[in-house]
Amino acid sequence: MNETRRALLDALADGPIEGPALADRLDVSRAAVWKQVEALREAGFGIESGDDGYRVVEIPEYGAEAIAFGLEAPYRIEYHDQIGSTNDRARELAETGEADLVVVADEQTGSRGRLGREWIGPSGGVWASLLLRPERPPAEIPVYALAAAVAVARAAREAGAEAVIKWPNDVLLAGEEPTQRKLAGILTEMEGEADRVSWLVVGIGVNANVDAGALPDGATSLREATGDVDRRVFLQRLLETFHDLTGGDTDLHAILDEWRALAATLGQRVRVETPGETIVGEAIDVQFPGSLVVRTDDDERVVHTGDCEHLRPV
């Protein structure tokens, strides 16, 4: 989507606006405004032109323009009806120098999960990958995944689902174990040097308007929990929260308290499979940039990465 289209969407989101004022605000001719308005109509927007100017009366269900309309976060949107993996596309765009862009798809045919696992991405999900170039050291990057989990959980709660977070960044639907099932997952990928991040891709997969039968065992969807959601609004809220937590020179340490408030893992007996060993104990806290503190029988351990399982209390 070009800059003028995005500026037009921002202007229309503020309320009715007359053609000449729009031309001024966008710094283009009135003919160019008309052309862009027509393009938005073709993209599914209902736009009336009355005495007070152009007014949006209908927004398409999903798509680049629909998500950008009224979005209070500085990201551009690239939308695909179908794609292999939004993370792969975001990585491709990283090589061309893009930034602050979100690749969104209705359906993924080759999506990837953590630790090289497959991820099922049928039509109806919220599949999105943010491409960012944060001016932060690589060591701080794990906290972006925690921020994404907070953003997903909050958007799910706003949609009426009682979402909680399992360390580090799985979003589950609350309930008595083992009924807690996975609603969303996050896959972050980055490239950089020891002290500088070149690019970061935060891939977010939310089983939104998807039949749970189409998903792997242990997974659930918003459709199953609350009924279908408005994916446009869901993704907007998610992106806005993510930007509030991570944008500009925000204090990234503040993410931890937001994460703690939504975490199902703290206070639980856990088994964490790390690359080198298995750690069993009580999860007692999270430490910047996202490590889990586990009290074992004889020690306190700080776990940086691994697969976490909630165990029944002994």
The correct pick among 12, 26, 67, 111 for binding ligand BTN (CB under 6 A) is 111
In sequence order, which residues have a C-beta less than 8 Å from that of residue 169 and are 6 or more positions away?
145, 146, 148, 149, 185, 186
* C-beta of 131 vs 204, nearer to ligand BTN: 204
Check residue 112 for interaction with ligand BTN (CB under 6 A).
yes
Please pick, from the candidates 65, 67, 87, 219, the single residue that binds ligand BTN as defined by CB under 6 A.
87
Near ligand BTN by CB under 6 A: residue from 63, 121, 138, 168? 121
Of 25, 55, 80, 114, which lies in the binding site for ligand BTN, with binding defined by CB under 6 A? 114
Task: Specify the stretch interacting with ligand BTN by CB under 6 A; choose among 50-58, 105-113, 271-279, 300-308.
Answer: 105-113
Smallest gap, in angstroms, from Cβ of residue 222 to ligand BTN? 15
Do the Cβ atoms of 294 and 284 come closer than 8 Å?
yes
Under rule CB under 6 A, residue 203 binds ligand BTN: yes
Rounded Cα distance between 19 and 2, Å, is 19
- In the region spanning residues 147 to 176, those forming contacts with ligand BTN, defined by CB under 6 A, are 170
Q: Please pick, from the candidates 45, 62, 69, 119, the single residue that binds ligand BTN as defined by CB under 6 A.
A: 119
Establish if 222 lies at the interface with ligand BTN (CB under 6 A). Answer: no
Nearest residue to the partner ligand BTN, using Cβ: 185
Note whether 185 binds ligand BTN by CB under 6 A: yes
Candidate residues 71, 75, 86, 252; the one interacting with ligand BTN per rule CB under 6 A: 86
Quick check: 85 binds ligand BTN (CB under 6 A)? yes
The region of 25-33, 34-42, 119-127, 153-161 touching ligand BTN under the rule CB under 6 A is 119-127
From the CB of 116, what's the least distance to ligand BTN, in Å? 9
Task: Say how many residues touch ligand BTN, by CB under 6 A.
Answer: 20
Give the range of 110-118, 147-155, 214-222, 238-246 binding ligand BTN by CB under 6 A. Answer: 110-118
- Window 47 to 76, contacts with ligand BTN (CB under 6 A): none
Closer residue to ligand BTN (CB): 130 or 283: 130
Q: Residue 186, interface with ligand BTN (CB under 6 A)?
A: yes
Nearer to ligand BTN, 45 or 170 (CB): 170
Q: Strands 163-166 and 126-132, how do they pair?
A: unpaired
Question: Could you tell me which residues are beta bridge partners of residue 22?
Answer: none
**The three-state (H, E, C) secondary structure of the chain, written as one string:** CCHHHHHHHHHHHCCCECHHHHHHHHCCCHHHHHHHHHHHHHCCCEEEEECCEEEEEECCCCCHHHHHCCCCCCCEEEEEEEECCHHHHHHHHHHCCCCCEEEEEEEECCCECHHHCECCECCCCEEEEEEECCCCCHHHCHHHHHHHHHHHHHHHHHCCCCEEEECCCEEEECCCCCCCEEEEEEEEEEEEECCEEEEEEEEEEECCCCCHHHCCCCECCHHHHHCCCCHHHHHHHHHHHHHHHHCCCCCCCHHHHHHHHHECCCCCEEEEECCCCEEEEEEEEEECCCEEEEECCCCEEEECCCEEEEECCC
Kindly list the residues in this chain that would bind ligand BTN in the complex (CB under 6 A).
Answer: 85-87, 108, 111-114, 117, 119, 121, 127, 129, 170, 185-187, 203-205
